[in-house]
Chains A and B, each alone.
Chain A
Amino acid sequence: MEGMKETVEESLREMRETFASGRTRSLKWRKAQIGAIYEMVKDNEDKICSALFQDLGKHSTEAFRDELGVVLRSATVAINSLDKWAVPKHSNLPLLFYPAKGKVISEPYGTVLVLSSWNFPISLSLDPLIGAIAAGNTVLLKSSELSPNASAFLAKTIPAYLDTKAIKVIEGGPDVATILLQHQWDKIFFTGSPKIGRIVMAAAAQHLTPVTLELGGKCPTIVDHHTISKNIKSVVKRIAGGKWGSCSGQACISVDYVLIEKSYASSLIDMLKPTIKSFFGENPKESGCLSKIATKQHVQRLSRLLNDPRVQASIVHGGSIDEEKLYVEPTILLDPPLDSEIMNEEIFGPILPIITVRDIQESIGIIKTKPKPLAIYAFTNDENLKTRILSETSSGSVTFNDVMIQYMCDALPFGGVGESGIGRYHGKYSFDCFSHEKAIMEGSLGMDLEARYPPWNNFKLTFIRLAFREAYFKLILLMLGLKR
């Protein structure tokens, strides 16, 4: 590890030197780097898809939709918008301060650290990278060791396309992360679990490093059958897609569990089953369209969640596990106990609990007993229910009548609250995430007011009091001696 420590320190030294040189401040440089990321992805589509297939069994269409496409779009938006994003914001100052001027400029933090995750190893590495570069920082990326092929691709290919003195990649696991976190960074961007999020923030606290933590939680999906029954087919498809269609449920914004009124549960299940079949055929293991579970340990974790006898008893579809093949069958549970482990930790896998309530309004109460999730989904046309959900629950985001897709809307900030995270990104929010908004005020040396200076007396006190209230007329009277 001594060697790794030296590598880290050398990298930091070089990145800081590069930042100090001012090279990353140029918008042209930033656009060129982001353009290079775009080219890198376009040139290596097959290699990337192959790496994702090896790591996670991801089908190339899923890989494109969730990773490559995201990065390409993010890069395009950044290049097209950077000039606009970098423009200083002018502030209006009160008349009292005339002719002073105020503005806010976005400046890069300096040298930043991006700690990425294994489930979307390409997009969760490159998307924050784009933000860091757009804001003018030098950046070190640590990709996840649990997606080794994607990580190796990034470590090998990024240096071939990007400015290696400014943008670096380190591979490795927790021991490498620990060494990185011992050092001082100007910002840390972390995607992962709340447990590790705490460790990252505690390490950042030693250096007063600001952090963005993109964590997770149990994203509930409310199905208000009453008001959406006409479109139930779409609803079922979207839920199925949101659970099994993206990395086999291993996404921070996956549908974690469904809430529905008791009388409709069985018809939902009866519609989900054929939908699963239409997605993955008779044997999902062989379909080639269902991602694998990350590692044997992760399979064992999901297995353990299912092993609870009360949970076992609630299985209404699926349940089979093949640890060797890193396969967990798309599984549906009907009313596992609310105090079971599976209902108290983020599932992060292809198991879908359906929790029934007497009245759909009760789902709000259940959601509130759990930590604030990254997303809440609700299928409903009931405006009252929508209002209640918005005002009585808290989550990173709320999406009505769909799942997952808020991720693609780059005018919306993407981030959590409470246990699901701190900070946000996507679109301009990525630029802001990696920027310090510096206030600049310019006063005039010309107009000087005696009242500003000691020795103090009643006149000056009255003057300043009136000035603060912006009572300009009374101020004038005071100065003309017409006011005491």
Chain B
Amino acid sequence: MFGAADASVLVMDLRRSFDDGVTRGYEWRVTQLKQLLIICDNHEPEIVAALRDDLGKPELESSVYEVSLLRNSIKLALKQLKNWMVPEKAKTSLTTFPASAEIVSEPLGVVLVISAWNYPFLLSIDPVIGAISAGNAVVLKPSELAPASSALLAKLMEQYLDSSAVRVVEGAVTETTALLEQKWDKIFYTGSSKIGRVIMAAAAKHLTPVVLELGGKSPVVVDSDTDLKVTVRRIIAGKWGCNNGQACVSPDYILTTKEYAPKVIDAMKKELETFYGKNPMESKDMSRIVNSTHFDRLSKLLDEKEVSDKIVYGGEKDRENLKIAPTILLDVPLDSLIMSEEIFGPLLPILTLNNLEESFDVIRSRPKPLAAYLFTHNKKLKERFAATVSAGGIVVNDIAVHLALHTLPFGGVGESGMGAYHGKFSYDAFSHKKAVLYRSLFGDSAVRYPPYSRGKLRLLKALVDSNIFDIFKVLLGLS
């Protein structure tokens, strides 16, 4: 049993490695990243198998949304790390003349990454890439709800990475609690808002900065001025095609007009059948529900009075095989359970409005989600949406793809989280940006020191305004 003492020894070990400088050098970081790349290149079949065991994830999803994304992330870091490590020059002004200034990125030290069960490889290794690139020692705690993936991660990382500075701790609440009692230099957590609060409260005891990648109900607004077929296909691929709705940026519910809704539903039914066949419960192209706890949770959402009679497509359940068919609901009550918590499953409520503008108010009246989506050709609508809807990220005319774009920061706001990562943002998330000012010992101004006088005050005022003429005037006694 991994307890408090083990956690303490673990952190001490890693801190010693960090203090010895093991993780600081460019070479070490590159070696570790290359080892991670080897894991992706040589062990994809095992990863795919583990994901099938844990989640029933189709091979394509595992290969593309976990392994390929990781491979890209590692390659980007390998390519850019030298640049990222270069100090950034900062401009100095007359007030601090003569001086030069720069901002130096330094590792925070020993960091903790707590990962989630739905994309167990991606959400474990992607933050670790950031931690290692930035020169930290890192402990990864994968989710126990994806046990085959957790075990494989532990095995592969022990085999390929430098265990004096990179470790995996498997386990559940006990182990996580023991880890959280330690002092970390940063904690990176992916998971629910409820646990996010627990993590941040634990971090507060040690003034540990955190990145919390949480979730929320990501709404999709569908305008009648759109290409319906493409819209619907993208929604389906983004919902059921990404771990069967069990993703933090999954389209949670749709908002559209009363008029347009029937068209949307018809188009969805048609495309769902194209994608998954007449009997979607038999389709191999969707993940299953992760476990019976979540199955029962989703069941409860469907069975609620006032909700169960709103099902317009799907609704079949198979507890033994942990499957729920792609299900569409129409106009469930706003205060129903299914509209009060993040669904994280294959259920898609459609809410209809009299006019589309109302959707903005609906979204704004709820906690800020991780993503908000809009499908439209209307330029003004796009602009208003982007400007007035607050979410971690906004995607227009597509679903979830922004995850793959390393030039955009990926993170939440409000209930959906704090901090961001991907690309250089990952490197920055695990770095301290230290300000460095180089001053000269020449040119000291008596103005700075007591005893204070009116003359000094005048010069100071001129300096503050950085007005060179005023400064000269004072110095020449003309003011």
Which residues of A are interface residues toward B (Cβ below 8 A)? 20, 22, 25, 59-62, 64-65, 69-70, 72-73, 76, 91-94, 97, 100, 102, 104-105, 107, 109-110, 186, 194, 197-198, 201-202, 204-206, 208, 210, 213, 215, 228, 231, 234-235, 237-238, 240-241, 244-245, 278-281, 287, 289-290, 368, 379, 390-391, 394-402, 405-406, 408-414, 417-419, 421-424, 436-446, 448, 452-456, 460-461, 464-465, 468-469
* Interface pairs (17), CB distance under 8 Å: A64-B461, A186-B414, A201-B203, A231-B442, A289-B451, A394-B106, A394-B109, A397-B435, A409-B437, A414-B435, A417-B432, A438-B413, A439-B394, A443-B396, A443-B397, A453-B237, A468-B72
Q: Which of B29-37, B97-105, B126-134, B253-261 contacts A (4 or more CB under 8 A)?
A: B97-105
Inter-chain contact count A-B, CB under 8 Å? 297
Cross-chain contact of B452 among A61, A97, A410, A455 (Cβ < 8 A): A61
Residues of B within 8 A of A402 (CB): 99, 437, 439
Q: Would you list which residues of chain B between 327 and 342 have a CB under 8 Å from chain A?
A: none
Question: Per a CB cutoff under 8 Å, which of A215, A228, A405, A460 touches B437?
Answer: A405
Collect the chain B residues with CB atoms within 8 Å of residue A105's CB. 386-387
Q: What 1/0 flags go to B387-410 for Cβ under 8 Å of A?
A: 110111111111001101101111
- Complex contact B391–A438 (CB within 8 A): yes
Is the CB–CB distance between A453 and B233 below 8 Å? yes
Contact yes or no, B408 A205, CB < 8 A: no
User: Which residues of chain B have C-beta atoms less than 8 A from A413's C-beta?
Assistant: 103, 433, 435
Q: Could you tell me if A396 and B451 are in contact, using CB atoms closer than 8 angstroms?
A: no
**Could you tell me the distance between the alpha carbons of A469 and B437 in the complex, rounded to whole angstroms?**
42
B24 at interface (Cβ–Cβ under 8 A)? yes
Known: A64-B461, A208-B212, A464-B64. 5 other contacts (CB 8 A): A398-B435, A401-B439, A439-B392, A465-B63, A469-B71
B101 x A409 contact (CB < 8 A): yes
Q: Are B449 and A279 in contact (CB under 8 A)?
A: yes
Inter-chain contacts of A440 with B (CB < 8 A): 386, 393-396
The residue in B71, B382, B401 that gathers the most chain A C-beta atoms within 10 A of its C-beta is B401
Interface residues on B, range: 35 or more
If A290-B450, A439-B409 touch, whether A409 touches B441 (CB-CB below 8 Å) is no
Q: Which residues of B contact A (CB under 8 A)?
A: 19, 24, 58-60, 63-64, 68-69, 71-72, 90-93, 95-96, 99, 101, 103-104, 106, 108-109, 185, 193, 196-197, 200-201, 203-205, 207, 209, 212, 214, 226-227, 230-231, 233-234, 236-237, 241, 274-277, 283, 285-286, 364, 375, 377, 382, 386-388, 390-398, 401-402, 404-405, 407-410, 413-415, 417-418, 420, 432-442, 444, 448-453, 456-457, 460-461, 463-466
Inside 8 A of A397's CB, which chain B residues have their CB? 434-437
Chain B residue contacts of A206, Cβ below 8 A: 197, 201
Cross-chain contact A441 with B451 (CB below 8 angstroms):
no
Cβ contacts under 8 Å, B398 to chain A: 100, 441, 443
Is B241 a contact partner of A398 (Cβ separation < 8 A)? no
A445 with B231, Cβ < 8 A, contacts A198-B205, A409-B95, A464-B64 known: yes
Bound Cα distance A282, B201 (Å): 51
Contact residues in B for A244 (Cβ distance below 8 Å): 450
- Please, which residue of chain A has its CB at the minimum distance from the CB of B275? A454
Which residues in B have their C-beta under 8 angstroms from that of A289?
450-452
